Amino acid sequence: MTTPIVVGNWKMNTTADQARQLAEQICSQVTERALDTRTTVVLCPPFVNLSAVGEVIEDRPIALGAQNCWSEPYGAFTGEISAAMLRAVGCRYVIVGHSERRTIFREDDQLIVRKLERVWEEKLVPILCIGETLAERQLHQTWDVLSRQLALVSAHSSRTRAWICAYEPVWAIGTGIAATAEEIEQAHAYLRSFLDAHGCHHVPLLYGGSVTEENAASIAAIAHVDGVLVGGASLVAERFLRIIQAQANA
């Protein structure tokens, strides 16, 4: 583990002007507060704002990421975006398998693995999201679900393939109800040992799900939390900066 990773997933929010402004505020403060040497910050705006944000963060210590990509390299896939296009626009990271993609757009593990292959082909770093639903947790299926979601991926992973794993319990995303410290600790301990047992010692493990400036410090202090994936709170510069600060101080 090098520096903690903080990813801002802006989802379907911001126009180009708003995206530029938000990126500018985050960038200037990250540098001014000397957070760049102690954290890796990744901004994931909507596809159409990648260029605008890319221009703002060029030559600055913040990386560009996309929220998704398609599983084929090019062709007749109306409305889709390829990993090569993302690389060309300056992305270094791509979120893959976010729970909103899995539930609203019915993405399954097989499709997600094909996307990962494409992202790796383009030498980008996938941020793979995994997590159980509330029903699965209540039925005591959490470990089975996480193992299933990871097993396919770790079979395709290798020491030379960089990727990041984000544990995001579905019931905690956008609900304002983050997992408790105990729940995060248990899940991360389980996932860390799963990853290590499958030769993925090099894979950082992030937590995501209602991370705020209030709970950021306590989450940052939990064992095996190598950073956070932030949705709602990443849309307000000062809130996001406080979350970055908490990771930098951990």
Give residues in contact with ligand PEP (CB under 6 A). Answer: 9, 98, 168, 173-174, 208-211, 229-233
Length of the chain, in residues: 250
CA distance 201 to 122: 22
Contact 215, 179 (CB under 8 A): no
The helix (H) or strand (E) run that includes residue 152 is helix 142-156
**Cβ closest to ligand PEP, residue 113 vs residue 173:** 173
Closer residue to ligand PEP in complex, CB, 8/30: 8
Q: Shortest Cβ distance from residue 39 to ligand PEP (Å)?
A: 17
Q: How far apart are CA 58 and CA 93, in angstroms?
A: 15
Which lies closer to ligand PEP via its Cβ, residue 137 or residue 198? 137
Residue 181 CA to residue 221 CA, distance in Å, equals 9
Phi, psi (deg, nearest 5) at residue 150: -85, -30
User: Taking CB positions, which residue lies at the least distance from ligand PEP?
Assistant: 231
Could you tell me the smallest distance in angstroms from the CB atom of residue 243 to ligand PEP? 10
101: part of which helix (H) or strand (E)? Answer: helix 99-104
- Minimum Å gap between C-beta 187 and ligand PEP is 14
Q: Of the two residues 45 and 208, which places its CB atom closer to ligand PEP in the complex?
A: 208
Closest approach, Cβ 131 to ligand PEP, in A, equals 9
Residues assigned a catalytic role: 98, 168
Instruction: Tell me the HSE value of 79 on the side-chain side, using a 13 A CA sphere.
Output: 0
